[in-house]
């Protein structure tokens, strides 16, 4: 089996509880010619010290310190420092499953060294997938192709040449959806992608993730995401205007549901109403709420969230979503991808 050189990029910020176990799961199986690149994004706890301890003495491990700029900024630094044939991303609170390195080489061999390889528990592998079909699956519009963690950066292998050719980078002004945009940009410039059935990644499910935590930046970030998505798809001959509109509309409906869940995470009812006013006072959101078409691909919660928000019932919706959170377990869970 051919060995392919690999750069594993780990962005790090205030993750002192998990970073050593994360890095240990990686360095145990790095092959000759591989490299581990850890980018500390201005951590204020002991994350940097724990990371350096975990990789101490390893010539194929690089530790980079930078001022805080967000996970996208850290990943971009990692890409710039990469020198291997393929790159992959691992979040600092997650793990790689024992045997991951041999599975990576197997996946690359079976994919005929595709530009982008999706790895997950799919039950079946697919080579030479339709680029537009995979992009639809990342967005959520392809019911025939369900990509586990398809919109995330991790559990994927990116050929560095396919990333640097169009100079694809993570959008540092977007806090939700930046991974999906990066994947789509690489795909639009790829000659071939592949889906491989293997489990290499353990994702730590935490209620403090960006999806579950309110951020006042979300609304502006989401508009930037929708605009960037439209720009990327419009530049490709694979998508006509009707298809692009469907992708943007679906993404907007999904984002309304995410925002309602973020509001529900707030313990202060007054802040829920303040977050509600932020959306309704935004003229761009008012226009989107009145103009988009709801796709049948949207699930029931997304459709309910959209229609209630359109009828100016977002605060009531957030309070309704808040009720089950009181009884929901806060224990961390693992998901194997």
Delimit the domains of the chain by residue range.
6-204, 218-325
> Residue 6: in which H helix or E strand, if any?
strand 6-12
Query: Looking at residue 143, what is its pLDDT?
Result: 80
Query: Looking at residue 327, what is its pLDDT?
Result: 60
Query: Looking at residue 127, what is its pLDDT?
Result: 77
Is the alpha carbon torsion for 160, 166, 170, 176 positive or negative? negative
Give me the numbers of helices (H) and strands (E) for the chain, helices first please. 13, 11
Q: How do residues 285-301 score in pLDDT, each as one tens digit?
A: 999 999 999 988 889 99
Quote the tokens at residue 57: 């003495």
CATH number of the 6-204 domain: 3.90.550.10
All residue ranges of the chain with pLDDT < 70 are 1-2, 207-212, 325-330
Is the alpha carbon torsion for 272, 274, 278, 280 positive or negative? positive
Residue with tokens 């194997």: 336
Quote the tokens at residue 64: 């980079």
Quote the tokens at residue 161: 């040449």
Residue with tokens 């039950």: 123
Q: What is the pTM of this model?
A: 0.95
Query: Looking at residue 213, what is its pLDDT?
Result: 83
Query: Looking at residue 149, what is its pLDDT?
Result: 83
C-alpha torsion angle, residues 100, 103, 104, 105 (rounded to 10): 130
Helices marked H in 82-164: 100-110, 131-139, 160-164
Residue with tokens 């303040």: 274
Q: What whole-number distance in Å separates Cα of residue 262 and Cα of residue 287?
A: 22
- 177 Rama sector, left if φ>0, alpha if ψ -120 to 50, beta otherwise: left
DSSP-assigned beta bridge partners for residue 116: 158, 193
């Amino acid at each position: 089996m051919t060995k392919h050189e690999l750069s594993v990029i780990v962005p790090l910020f205030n993750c002192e509880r998990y970073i050593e176990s994360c890095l240990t799961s990686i360095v145990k199986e790095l092959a000759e010619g591989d490299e581990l690149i850890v980018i500390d994004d201005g951590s204020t706890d002991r994350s940097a010290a724990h990371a350096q301890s975990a990789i101490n003495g390893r010539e194929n491990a690089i530790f980079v310190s930078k001022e805080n700029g967000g996970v996208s900024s850290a990943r971009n630094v990692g890409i710039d420092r990469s020198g291997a044939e393929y790159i992959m991303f691992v979040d600092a609170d997650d793990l790689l499953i024992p045997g991951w390195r041999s599975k990576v080489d197997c996946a690359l061999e079976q994919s005929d060294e595709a530009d982008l390889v999706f790895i997950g528990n799919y039950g079946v592998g697919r080579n030479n997938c339709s680029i537009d079909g995979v992009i639809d699956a990342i967005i959520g519009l392809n019911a025939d192709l369900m990509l586990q963690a398809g919109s995330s950066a991790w559990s994927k292998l990116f050929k560095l040449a396919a990333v640097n050719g169009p100079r694809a980078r993570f959008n540092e002004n977007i806090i939700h959806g930046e991974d999906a945009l990066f994947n789509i940009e690489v795909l639009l410039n790829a000659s071939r992608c592949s889906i491989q059935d293997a489990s290499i990644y353990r994702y730590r499910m935490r209620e403090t993730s960006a999806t579950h935590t309110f951020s006042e930046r979300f609304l502006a970030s989401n508009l930037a995401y929708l605009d960037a998505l439209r720009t990327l798809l419009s530049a490709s001959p694979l998508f006509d205007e009707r298809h692009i509109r469907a992708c943007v509309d679906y993404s907007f409906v999904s984002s309304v549901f995410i925002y309602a869940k973020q509001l529900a995470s707030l313990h202060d009812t007054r802040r829920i109403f303040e977050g509600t006013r932020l959306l309704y006072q935004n003229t761009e959101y008012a226009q989107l709420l009145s103009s988009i078409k709801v796709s049948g691909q949207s699930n029931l919660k997304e459709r309910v969230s959209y229609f209630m928000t359109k009828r100016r019932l977002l605060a009531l919706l957030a309070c309704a979503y808040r009720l089950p959170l009181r009884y929901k377990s806060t224990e961390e869970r693992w998901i194997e991808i």
